[in-house]
Structure 1
Amino acid sequence: MLPKPQSSLQPNTYEYESQPLVKPTGFREYDARWLFEKEINLMGIQALGMGIGTLIHEMGVRPDIVTGHDFRGYSSSIKYALISGMMAAGMRVKDVGLSLSPMAYFGQFALDCPCVAMVTASHNDNGWTGVKMGANRPMTFGPDEMGRLRDIVLNGEFKTREGGSYTYVDGFRETYLADLTNRPKLKRKLKVVAACGNGTAGAFAPQVLEAIGCEVIPMDTNLDFTFPRYNPNPEDMKMLHAIAEKVRETGADVGLGFDGDGDRCGVVDNNGEEIFADKIGVMLARDLSKLHPNATFVVDVKSTGLFTTDPVLKAQGVKADYWKTGHSYIKRRVNELNALAGFEKSGHFFFNQPVGRGYDDGILTALAVCDMLDRNPDKSMADLYNDLPKTWGTPTMAPHCPDEVKYEVVDRVVKRFTEMKDKGEQVGGQAIDSLVTVNGVRVTTSDGTWGLVRASSNKPELVVVVESPVSEARMREMFHAVDSILRENKEVGAYNQTI
């Protein structure tokens, strides 16, 4: 049996090589993220694997689990440490090798495994590692499961069991690609930039787009775990700007950017304009609700207000449900409401039957964008974007805030805005119309301008988003008003990007 994990150990010591290191803050709301070697070591990963197996048996779920790893220099070794722990806890492991997160989720269906443990730090910078987990396809763990897993691991409540086994599933990449491409080809000839940021999607996305009939312009598709140009994150303006430049240079119809583990997709139109993912969600909702009238779409609280105000969506009977940000939350909500799809501003899109299986897959999102263009042969991507009512929005901005205090800071901000509303005080020169506090606080003023503050679920940061249907000036006023409230808290640091 492994020793009880320690919350801190000094590297390059006997203790570090003899005990599990697991920093408690690595257990996030719906997955796990640590700085490898600084916050977790390989014995800590093994302890995590034993914890996953213990929890799954405790839940009464059949112990068959799919695992895979993303393309980072250390992910393979982390996966094998995780596997050793899961096997010790009686899990029957099916290893699909180097993979995208959605390929592992697909494996739950194709290999008849209720459980998944995908080793990935997603779009986090190099040095980070993590695991996305689930035991009830297509959902992944939420706060309850993550809280119980944290307690099992940190308290050393592991239970070893007989029956653990390991199988490497050879050729599963081809099985996954065949599932995505077993469909009619596009009627419209599209020239598509496929940008992968040297992440894992480079081994998947270009081939799928070519197979459905696109002319593909590959961009940063060679796998390189140093990420030499930029971090593979389609919410990062550096990546979006690079895609936009390539679109303008090549005259492409659309630019598609994929994150490090392939579960998100960013879009640039044919004019080289970067379209934030929530607006892509509105465009796809317009397109899909023509085929499926009166559909329900789940959207996260960071997303545009157009899901409830757009006249086209209203005319097509669309119902929008604003919910908590996070792939686990949106997935569950889509399942609960039997929604047609769920959209996050971060680019996680969840297509339910008949479009998808309910999990987030960036390549499937790319296919949905191509299908939308195919169904509108007389319109460019820019035309479809310009058809939307105009709003002015910020990118997702993330001021630094330590993991240990970020939720407390958000609670203070929620309380502050609540008191302001109760007293009739204004924000950015406008009266407060409403507050949504399902996930941080989304404060909307009387002219429809809104600002969001919430805690990041996977990094030591807060999340800030602002949008105005009135003007860019109102958007900037709202941002400065929200930021001034944040600055009342000394723990809030510099932004990763700002307007």
Structure 2
Amino acid sequence: MLPTPVADLAANTLAYEITPKVKPTGFREYDARWVFEKEINLLGIQALGAGLGTLIHELGKRPEIVVGHDFRGYSTSIKQALTVGLMGAGITVHDIGLALSPVAYFAQFDLDVPCVAMVTASHNENGWTGVKMGVDAPLTFGPDEMGRLKDIVLNGQYKAREGGGYKWVEGMRERYIADIVKDVKISRPLKVIAACGNGTAGAYAPEALSRMGVEVIPMDAELDHTFPKYNPNPEDMKMLHEMEAAVKEHGADVALGFDGDGDRCGVVDNEGVEIFADKIGVMLARDLSSQHEKATFVVDVKSTGLFMTDPVLIENGATTHYWKTGHSYIKRHTTDLDALAGFEKSGHFFFREPYGRGYDDGLVAAVAILKMLDRNPDKSMADLRRALPTTYQSPTMSPHCDDDKKYGVVDRIVKQLEGKTELIGQKVRDVNTVNGVRITVEDGTWGLVRASSNKPELVVVVESPVSEENRNAMFHAIEKVMAGYPEIGEFNQKL
């Protein structure tokens, strides 16, 4: 088997070619991400595959796995190295080729294969790579599994086993699209922008949406792993502004934007207004709770406070639980609570039966949004937006903070904010520390600080149900607290 990995090796050396390089911080809370070559080499990826295969055996799972890859210039080589490691550990690999993350999750059900490893850096910039993993569909790894995988890999505890194999799977793209569009026929005439950011979704979204009966205007749907215009990330204001311009140019009813691996969906309405995904979640929760009595929903701590105060959700008897941010956390909590759906502000939507299988899928979210419009033929997307109580939100804002420092920094910020009895001239009403710290004052204005699970960053979100002034005041109060920590760098975007 491979040698035990080391954390740092210089490129273009003999050692780099014969020793696995794996930076420990790449093992995150619920998936793995590294800057390729700088933080991990191909032998390191092979060691990761060997470690995952060893863990699959340790957990007593059937030794078969679905493997796919996103559209990056280096993702095929990453997947091949991962596959070699898995096979060496006695795992049969079902290779579905170029795919969205939800296609890999779908393949677990379609092929009756228990495990999954999707090679993707999601919306991270080029240079990043990673793997989303699971052994119990529709769930993906959480901290316990990731912690054990980290121990196996970094300590070279992977074991060689006989019985590994390789199977190429034909036609998974068509099987997935057929499953998405089955029984979906939008009767209302709709013109839809399909914004793909030159990522993998370009090979799926325009065709799937067209087969639902809507007029589709593809936007940056040509696959180009240099991402020439913007990073495919429906939380990024540059992508949202491009979607806004396309809506106005084409007179579209809605723009739907998909991230690099297709498990998220962003929305711009017919007036060119970007609607953050948590507000879309409130709209969908209204729509679904009108059809299901006592519906339960799960949302992440970055999401709007409307889930607790919206009069329509209250009248419909809906219950909402706030939980940790992260696709694995929301997926698992939604399943544990037998919730109808889960929503994240980042654009991950988790629909369970009868609408989905419990995993996050941008196209399943698109179906739900289009069906909601179809059920409201006299209302535009902007009408549905205006029907919500007004709140003043920020985008997700992320200042740099090194991976080996960010959790310690957040722990200190949590303690500092936990001790606050007053903020922005108001009494503190609530402090939620389930995931970082979300502090709320009397009028419902709140601010959140947490560590990013994906990148060397912190995450800051603020919202006020009262005014932009109070929203901005909350941001400036949090920014003032963060200014006391030299480990925190520049923001990627601000109010």
**TM-score, scaled to structure 2:** 1.00
- Whole-angstrom distance in 2 between the partners of 1:111 and 1:488: 52
Alignment-derived partner of residue 442 in structure 2: 446
Q: 1:293 deviation in Å? A: 2.1
Aligned positions of 1:55-70 closer than 5 A: 55-70=55-70
Alignment-derived partner of residue 141 in structure 2: 141
- Whole-angstrom distance in 1 between the partners of 2:338 and 2:18: 48
- Corresponding residue to 1:429 among 421, 425, 429: 425
Alignment-derived partner of residue 380 in structure 1: 380
- Structure 2: runs of 5+ lacking an equivalent: none
Aligned positions of 1:284-295 closer than 5 A: 284-295=284-295
Alignment-derived partner of residue 463 in structure 1: 459
Letter in 1 for 2:92: R
Aligned positions of 1:100-499 closer than 5 A: 100-420=100-420, 424=421, 426-499=422-495
Q: 1:63 deviation in Å? A: 1.1
Letter in 2 for 1:484: K
Letter in 1 for 2:442: S
- Whole-angstrom distance in 2 between the partners of 1:463 and 1:142: 19
Per the alignment, in what secondary structure is the counterpart of residue 385 of structure 1?
A: helix
In the alignment, structure 1 residue 6 sits paired with structure 2 residue 6: yes
Q: Deviations over 1:66-98 (max 9, x none)?
A: 000000000000000000000000111100000
Letter in 1 for 2:258: F
- Whole-angstrom distance in 2 between the partners of 1:184 and 1:328: 28
Letter in 2 for 1:60: G
- Whole-angstrom distance in 2 between the partners of 1:6 and 1:427: 46
Q: 1:352 deviation in Å? A: 0.5
Q: Deviations over 1:303-350 (max 9, x none)?
A: 000001000000001000000000000000010000000000000000
Identity of aligned residues (%): 68
- Whole-angstrom distance in 2 between the partners of 1:119 and 1:184: 30
- Structure 1: runs of 5+ lacking an equivalent: none
Greater CA drift, 318-327 or 55-64: 55-64
- Whole-angstrom distance in 1 between the partners of 2:307 and 2:443: 17
Per the alignment, in what secondary structure is the counterpart of residue 434 of structure 1?
A: strand
- Whole-angstrom distance in 1 between the partners of 2:64 and 2:176: 19
- Whole-angstrom distance in 1 between the partners of 2:232 and 2:425: 38
Per the alignment, in what secondary structure is the counterpart of residue 20 of structure 1?
A: coil
Q: 1:253 deviation in Å? A: 0.2
Q: Deviations over 1:278-322 (max 9, x none)?
A: 000000000111111210000000000000100000000100000
Q: 1:184 deviation in Å? A: 3.4
- Whole-angstrom distance in 1 between the partners of 2:400 and 2:26: 16
Q: 1:489 deviation in Å? A: 0.8
Q: Deviations over 1:221-264 (max 9, x none)?
A: 00000000000000000000000000011100000000000000
Q: 1:472 deviation in Å? A: 0.3
Q: 1:440 deviation in Å? A: 0.2
Q: 1:267 deviation in Å? A: 0.1
Per the alignment, in what secondary structure is the counterpart of residue 291 of structure 1?
A: coil
Per the alignment, in what secondary structure is the counterpart of residue 293 of structure 1?
A: coil
- Whole-angstrom distance in 2 between the partners of 1:136 and 1:488: 43
- Whole-angstrom distance in 2 between the partners of 1:275 and 1:117: 32
- Whole-angstrom distance in 2 between the partners of 1:114 and 1:138: 9
Letter in 2 for 1:28: R
**TM-score, scaled to structure 1:** 0.99
Alignment-derived partner of residue 84 in structure 1: 84
- Whole-angstrom distance in 2 between the partners of 1:101 and 1:119: 8
- Whole-angstrom distance in 1 between the partners of 2:337 and 2:419: 33
Alignment-derived partner of residue 53 in structure 2: 53
Q: Deviations over 1:449-495 (max 9, x none)?
A: 00000000010000000000000000000000011111111101110
Per the alignment, in what secondary structure is the counterpart of residue 90 of structure 1?
A: coil
Aligned length, in residue pairs: 495
Q: 1:389 deviation in Å? A: 0.2
Q: 1:369 deviation in Å? A: 0.5
Q: Deviations over 1:355-402 (max 9, x none)?
A: 000000001111111000000000000000000000001000000000
Q: 1:45 deviation in Å? A: 0.2
Q: 1:418 deviation in Å? A: 1.2
